[in-house]
Amino acid sequence: MIKPMHAIQIFVIVGLITLVGNWVGMDQINPIDAAMGMLILLVLVFIGWWLSQALPINLPPIVFVSILGILATTPWTPGSAWILSHTGNISFLATTTPVLAFAGISIGKDLDKFMELGWRIIVVALVVFTGTFLGSAVIAQVMLRLTGQI
């Protein structure tokens, strides 16, 4: 179990790293301009994380955090335009970089096992992409027929 104080500490540190990436990266947004947007995201993150720990339902924090993010920004949410004007200063790509840096470092210890995936994972990936596309196309076709659209 992680204490709330430690969770906040980690969220803030990763938030700061993200702000630096957001600054030196493609969009070059000054951290001072982006600070409020990050603060909003961190509040959503902390509430969502806390809910996943406090509620008796066993769901991962990402479910709560994503729902909070959606609810905070629907057109019917009071103040959503203000929230979006600030979160818009954080680029989505900038939020992905530190996470994958942690992931890379952590995979480092299993690099041998990772390399063993080799060419076989490429074959699986191609079948994955094909399956996603064809599966959706078949169901869409059937549904459009059933609902009389085509």
Partner 1 sequence: MAENEVVERQFTHNWKLYGIVLVLTIIGELIGVRSFRVGPGTALLLPMLYALVIGMFLGPRFIKIASERDMSDASPLIVLSVLILVAKLGTTIGPNIPQLIGAGPALLMQEFGNLGTLILAMPVAVLLGFKREAIGATFSNAREGALAIIGDVYGLDSPEGRGVLGVYICGTLFGAIYNGIMSGFVASLNVFHPMAIGMASGVGSASMMSAAGGAAAAALPESADLVLTFAAASNLVTSATGLYMMIFIGIPLANFYLRVLTGGRE
Query: Which of positions 62-91 make contact with partner 1 (CB under 8 A)?
Result: 62-63, 65-75, 77, 80, 83-84, 87, 90
Render 70-114 in DSSP notation, one character per residue. Answer: HHHHSTTSTTHHHHHHHHTTS-HHHHHHHHHHHHHHHHGGGHHHH
State yes or no: residue 56 binds partner 1 (CB under 8 A).
Answer: no
State yes or no: residue 13 binds partner 1 (CB under 8 A).
Answer: yes
State yes or no: residue 29 binds partner 1 (CB under 8 A).
Answer: no
**Please, are residues 25 and 93 in contact by the beta-carbon 8 Å criterion?**
yes
What's the min distance (Å) between Cβ of 36 and partner 1? 13
Cβ closest to partner 1, residue 32 vs residue 115: 115
| CA gap 125, 19 in Å, rounded | 33
Cβ closest to partner 1, residue 30 vs residue 104: 104
| CA gap 17, 98 in Å, rounded | 7
| CA gap 88, 82 in Å, rounded | 10
Residue choice 4, 33, 82, 138 for contact with partner 1 (CB under 8 A): 138
**First CA to last CA across the chain, in angstroms?**
54
What's the min distance (Å) between Cβ of 121 and partner 1? 4
| Residue list 93-132, contact with partner 1 (CB under 8 A) | 93-111, 113-114, 117, 120-132
